[in-house]
Chains A and B, each alone.
Chain A
Amino acid sequence: MSNPNQKLTNAQVTALLILRVVIGWHFLYEGITKLLNPNWTSVGYLMDSKGFLSGFYHSLAASPKLLPVIDALNEWGLVLIGTALILGLFTRWAIYGGMLLLAMYYFSHPPFIGLKYALPSEGSYLLIDKVVIEFFAMWALSLFPAGKIIGFDRLLVKTK
């Protein structure tokens, strides 16, 4: 990527930057609240899973060995991805990691017709929910050199 902001206007760069930072903020706060709550566990969320992959999620919740690993991966994954997105550091990897997490969340609670969850939804969704929207926002973000214009990745590129 020798020409990081080729064809991008200042407004485009600004919008992409804001998008990256707010998504990062969201990930980071989701991670931090879980880390700061000693009682937090993903078991309730996993047990509430419905849809064609629910068996997989239920088996994660039922495994006393896997559950702490899932919890830690989730907590630290969110924190690291969030921090990376805010700083623009290893941005593309952070985006891919974030998309993977979002895909896991989506398929654990897909808003399909006929599926009802214990966790109340704050809006009305049919097939598309905010998780999917964040997923595609991140995909779009990944197609631009978001961290290389404003962010640590710029230094990485420069010092290569």
Chain B
Amino acid sequence: MSDKNQTPEKEQNENKKNVGRRDVIKSLATVPVLGAFAYGVYKKKQYDRLLSNSITNEVGMSYEEPAATPPSDVNGKPLRVGLIGYGIRGKMLAKALGFAHPTMVDEWKKGAMTNKDDKRYEEFLQQENLGIQITAVCDIFNTYERMCAEAGANVNREGTGGNMGPMPAIYKNYQELCAAPEVDAIVIAAPDHWHGPMTIEAAKNGKHVYCEKPMTWTVEETYEVRKAVKKSGITFQLGHQGRQTDSYQKAKEAIEKGVLGPINLVEVTTNRNTPNGAWVYPIHEDANPRTIDWEQFIGPAPWHEFSLERFFRWRCWWDYSTGLSGDLLTHEYDAVNQIMNVGIPESAMSTGGIYFYKDGRTVPDVLHTVFEFPKQDLSLVYSATLSSQHQRGKVVMGHDAWMELGQTLTINADVQSTKYADKIKKGIIDPELPIYSYIPGRKNVDAVTSATEKYFAGRGLLYTYRGGKRVDTTHLHMKEWVDCIRSGEEPSCNIDQGFEEAITAHMGTLSYKHNKKVFWDAENEKIIV
């Protein structure tokens, strides 16, 4: 502060070169502020560390990413793969194996040129080579059949006019493809009503199978598929790529460590609100009775006259589909089964209806199913709507803490928790803030990381990539299957997990159809309606 005894005029008259005691004091007057600042920062850090350590010790969870899987063995003979089905999902599976139709590559390239945030092309090029060869394809729609073969030949991941490899053999039906000697393994991306028969046929021919979910369309074939797969000893992987999601693996760790305390309720949901999300898929312009093998489409389903709607939007009819239970509940159930090992429920009760899409469909667009697991003191509630996108999340509710699962994982203590009561009372744990959060790709997230960062991370803005690359979980899931074929190990979503998935989904469907609670007779392995 200015010295009251000395006027500015006097000061002005001082010789500039003459630095007096007063000048030094005035120059250094604010230095103590830095000392106070340093002390403040020290105290704040100490407080944060204490808070963070007491929570981290209490929770006992690690923040490390699950170990990255080693690269696939590409030095030996390539695995020869046959693709059945090149519809929406078939295209994605082929891409996850490293084979995309040149026009798809063109589209991604174009996207990358006009929008630098469009990383599809870059990611596809970076995707690991699994050491496979597409040797056979089959699709009952001519256009998809040709495209599938061209994708299989696109060994260099190029666009139109690129240098293609040999064309895979085209088969007119799946039986011939399953019997083909140049095929070691088969990817099934056909409608639900074909999953069982195709898996059985492939297993009988000793071909390894990657099958899209749900595993089966009827209860009966579920037993047959399991029998055929076990008898043949093939490597079977069911297409629940959620098995590869980092946060699910962390969730499993949290539950095993008892972070949540006793868990009696799990709520999972489907929240969609687009025609595409409700299976009203576009109808291809080339499609007509001459380009589609309609009889082969029908197969085990009840006969119906040719219908483009039914061919492209088959998920809307029980005749070919398993509805919400098979398509979307299965993903949710498999996630819960993965993290909690719940197995097949003792009972299921479903209710719902066709409330929004009155387009002639037979499967409901709103569905709620409650599964009971009395041995585990647990209820699993599934609730789905196809006419609202309000995200209700996937929540595991424990007496001591609740957990919300998605791409990220957050755990909050329950206000009335017994386990954390002392720490809540002392103010160390705030039930409003997560006691644990896991953000994929982010290391060393500590318990009191700033709210801002969590906010960004929750919105995907801090999304980083595993090993420096963004990886598609479907690719990881197929890679696991390919690696297991080579090593002889069991994949994560094997036939036993698939059996539990299929039976659980069928129980939900049967309860809806019969409008009554259905039970699982575990001893005799029978669903009791």
Interface residues of A (CB under 8 A from B): 2-3, 5-6, 8, 10, 13-14, 17, 21, 24-25, 28-29, 32, 36-39, 43-45, 47-48, 58-59, 62, 83, 86-88, 118-120, 149-155, 157-160
Known contacts A3-B12, A44-B453, A86-B37; decide if A154 and B23 are in contact (CB<8 Å).
yes
Known: A25-B37, A28-B37, A44-B457; 10 extra A-B contacts, CB below 8 A, are A5-B8, A25-B33, A44-B452, A44-B453, A47-B461, A59-B116, A150-B27, A151-B27, A155-B24, A158-B17
Q: Contact: A43 with B462, CB < 8 Å?
A: yes
Q: Is the CB of A39 within 8 A of B444?
A: yes
Residues of B within 8 A of A45 (CB): 456
| Contact between A158 and B37, CB atoms less than 8 A apart | no
Question: What residue of chain A has the Cβ atom nearest to residue B3's Cβ?
Answer: A10
A58 CA to B461 CA, complexed, in Å: 11
Residues of chain A lying within 8 A (CB to CB) of residue B23: 154-155, 158
In the complex, residue of chain B having the shortest beta-carbon distance to the beta carbon of A5? B8
User: Are A160 and B37 touching (Cβ within 8 A)?
Assistant: no
Report the bound CA distance from A32 to B444 in whole Å: 19
| Given A29-B37, A29-B41, A48-B456, A154-B26 contact (CB < 8 Å) | yes
Whether a CB of chain A sits under 8 angstroms from the CB of B304 is no
* Pair A3/B8 contact, Cβ less than 8 Å: yes
Q: Which residues of A contact B116 (CB under 8 A)?
A: 59, 62
**A36-B45, A83-B34, A119-B452 known; A44 vs B461 contact (CB < 8 Å):** yes
Q: How close is B524's CB to chain A, nearest CB, in angstroms?
A: 54
Subset of 7 A-B contacts with CB under 8 Å: A2-B12, A17-B1, A21-B30, A47-B456, A48-B461, A118-B455, A160-B16
Complex CA distance for A45 and B452, rounded to whole angstroms: 9
- CB neighbours of A59 from chain B (8 A): 116
- When A13-B2, A44-B453 are in contact, do A87 and B30 touch as well, CB less than 8 Å? yes
Max chain B C-beta neighbours (<10 A), residue from A25, A118, A158 = A158
Chain B, range 478-507, C-beta contacts under 8 Å to A: none
Chain B residue nearest to A6 in the complex (CB): B8
What per-residue 1/0 map shows which CB atoms of B330-374 lie under 8 Å from chain A?
A: 000000000000000000000000000000000000000000000
Query: Could you tell me the distance between the alpha carbons of A37 and B2 in the complex, rounded to whole angstroms?
Result: 39
Instruction: From A6, A13, A86, A160, give the contact of B30 (CB < 8 A).
Output: A86
CB distance from B6 to the nearest CB of A (A): 11
B445 at the interface (CB under 8 A from A): yes
Q: Give chain A nearest CB distance to B471 CB in angstroms.
A: 18
| B204 proximal to A (CB < 8 A) | no
Q: With A and B bound together, what is the CA distance between A158 and B17 in angstroms?
A: 6
- Give Cα A149 to B452, complex, Å: 39
B67 near A: Cβ within 8 Å? no
What distance in Å separates the Cβ of B50 from its nearest Cβ neighbour in chain A?
Answer: 16
Q: Which residues of A are found within 8 Å of B24, using beta-carbon distances?
A: 155
Known contacts A5-B2, A28-B37; is A151 also within 8 Å of B444 by CB? no
B456 in complex: contacting residue of A86, A119, A151, A152, CB < 8 Å? A119
Q: Is B88 an interface residue (CB 8 A)?
A: no
Q: A44-B456, A118-B456, A155-B19 are in contact. Are A88 and B37 (CB under 8 A)?
A: no
Chain A nearest Cβ from B267, distance in angstroms:
26
Please tell me if the beta carbons of A86 and B27 are within 8 angstroms of each other in the complex.
no
- B522 close to chain A: CB less than 8 A: no
B110 proximal to A (CB < 8 A)? no
Q: How many A-B residue pairs have CB under 8 A?
A: 103
Inter-subunit contact B26/A150 (CB<8 Å): yes
Question: What residues of chain B lie closer than 8 Å to A151, measured between beta carbons?
Answer: 26-27, 29-30
Q: How far is the CB of B74 from chain A (nearest CB, A)?
A: 27
Beyond A86-B33, A87-B34, A154-B23, is A149–B461 a contact (Cβ under 8 Å)? no
Contacts of A154 in B (CB 8 A): 23, 26-27
- Which of A36, A59, A87 has most chain B Cβ within 10 Å? A87
Contact A155 B8 (CB under 8 A): no
Q: Mark B179-212, 1 if CB is under 8 A from A, else 0.
A: 0000000000000000000000000000000000
B31 touches A87 (CB 8 A): yes
A10–B17 CB distance below 8 A:
no
- Is B526 on the interface with A (CB-CB < 8 A)? no
Q: Is B390 an interface residue (CB 8 A)?
A: no
Given the complex, which residues of A lie within 8 Å of B45, measured CB to CB?
Answer: 36
List residues of B (102-132) whose CB comes within 8 Å of A's CBs: 116-117
Partner of A150, one of B11, B29, B117, B462: B29
Given contacts A39-B444, A39-B445, A155-B23, contact A10 B453 (CB under 8 A): no
B1 pairs with A44, CB closer than 8 A: no
- Residues in B with CB closer than 8 Å to A2 are 12
Partner of A120, one of B2, B445, B449, B455: B455
Q: How far is the CA of A119 from the CA of B462 in the complex (A)?
A: 13
Chain B's closest residue to A3 (CB) is B12
Q: Which 6 A-B pairs have the closest CB atoms?
A: A44-B456, A155-B27, A44-B461, A154-B27, A10-B2, A47-B461
Q: How far is the CA of A34 from the CA of B426 in the complex (A)?
A: 28
Chain A residue, CB-CB nearest to B1: A14
B469 contacts the other chain (Cβ, under 8 Å)?
Answer: no
Count chain B CB atoms within 10 A of each CB in A29, A36, A39 and give the residue with the most: A39
A155 to B34 Cα, complex, angstroms: 18
Write the nearest CB–CB distance from A7 to chain B, whole angstroms: 9
Closest residue to B451 on the A side, CB-wise?
A: A120
Nearest-Cβ distance from residue B495 to partner chain A, whole angstroms: 42
Interface: B77 (CB within 8 A): no
CB-CB under 8 A from A118, the residues of chain B are 455-456, 459, 461
B24, closest chain A residue (CB): A155
- Residues from chain A with a CB closer than 8 A to the CB of B29 are 150-151
- Distance of A36 Cα from B11 Cα, bound (Å): 43
Measured in the bound complex, the distance between the Cα atoms of B444 and A153 in whole Å is: 42
Name which of A21, A38, A44, A151 has the most chain B CB atoms within 10 A of its CB: A44
Chain A residues lying within 8 Å of B12, measured Cβ to Cβ, are 2-3, 6
Is the CB–CB distance between A157 and B16 below 8 Å? yes
By a CB distance below 8 angstroms, the chain B residues around A155 are 19, 23-24, 27
Q: Is B4's CB within 8 Å of the partner chain A?
A: yes
For residue B459, which residue of chain A has the nearest CB? A118
Instruction: Report the separation of the CA atoms of residues A88 and B461 in the bound assembly, to the nearest whole angstrom.
Output: 38
Enumerate chain B residues within 8 angstroms of A36, measured Cβ to Cβ.
Answer: 41, 45
